Structure 1
Amino acid sequence: MQQNRDSKIDNIEFNVTSIERSKAFYGEAFGWTFVDYGPSYTEFSDGRLTGGFTTGEPVRPGGPLVILYSDDLEKAQRILISAGATISRKKFSFPGGQRFHFIDLDGYELAVWSAESPES
């Protein structure tokens, strides 16, 4: 059974220029393991936390994309806007779910995602 993950950090995503190069680097440096999900996305695991390498977005110097999980994307978006966030990327679908990006009060971009429901 999966623990409650609503409103918790769920993933960290690095936009990279080469997935193979990143896998070689982090595998050698830290012993991370990888699961490929097509040519533009690979999940990594450090044994405690999972995240991803993607070539589907531009490289963002300054840090990875922190992704939170929400049981209800529309509610999360309303709460964020009410708290002062700016939506930087409207909700979009990807294999397994949907997500949107927002800018916090200090200019950091984060994302919120939700899995597809079994009925979808």
Structure 2
Amino acid sequence: MARLDYFELPAADIAGSRRFYEQAFGWSLAEFGPTYAATVTGDTDIGLDADAASQPKAPLPVIQVDDVEPALEAVRSAGGVIVQPIYEFPGGRRFHFRDPAGNELAVWQKAGE
């Protein structure tokens, strides 16, 4: 299974960005430390990243898969360029790639799967 389930957005002002999405759409965002907040609906969620070292430069689509290693090989075989190799983060493992048009996306696998 592979499905688009997440978008990460740069958010220099995490409190202001969080307040905007809560007020504009009625979303509830959970805090994951001082620089990250996200919806946790289990559907397509949104993450706000205020950490200058890790935040995406543009919206980052994130695709969930069952197994990240074969997904990395499939992306590479299809012509994608790996820009960040597989790494662990709280909640799972992921990698980033650029598609042939130059768009950056991420692929992740939930921890324990």
TM-score (norm 1): 0.82
Kept in 1, the 8 Å contact 2:8–2:56? The answer is: no
Structure 1 letter corresponding to 2:84: R
Counterpart position of 1:80: 75
Residue in structure 2 matching 1:25, options 20, 43, 47:
20
- In the TM superposition, what is the alpha-carbon distance from 1:49 to its structure 2 partner? 3.3
3-state DSSP class of the match of 1:98? strand
2:71 and 2:82 mapped to 1: Cα distance? 11
The C-alpha deviation readout for 1:29-71, integer Å capped at 9, x for no partner, is: 222211111112111268x6322111232452xx411000111
The C-alpha deviation readout for 1:58-101, integer Å capped at 9, x for no partner, is: 452xx411000111111000001000000011111111111000
Unaligned runs of 5+ residues in structure 1 are 1-5
Structure 1 letter corresponding to 2:63: L
Structure 2 letter corresponding to 1:93: E
Which structure would you say has the larger Rg?
A: 1
Counterpart position of 1:53: 48
Unaligned runs of 5+ residues in structure 2 are none
Residue in structure 1 matching 2:34, options 30, 33, 39:
39
Kept in 1, the 8 Å contact 2:80–2:99? The answer is: yes
Matched, 1:69 2:71: no
Matched, 1:116 2:111: yes
Quote the RMSD (CA, aligned, Å).
2.0
Counterpart position of 1:14: 9
Q: Among all aligned residue pairs of Structure 1 and Structure 2, give the percentage whose two residues are the same amino acid.
A: 35
Kept in 2, the 8 Å contact 1:43–1:51? The answer is: yes
| Distance change >3 Å, CA 116–CA 49, structure 1 → 2 | closer
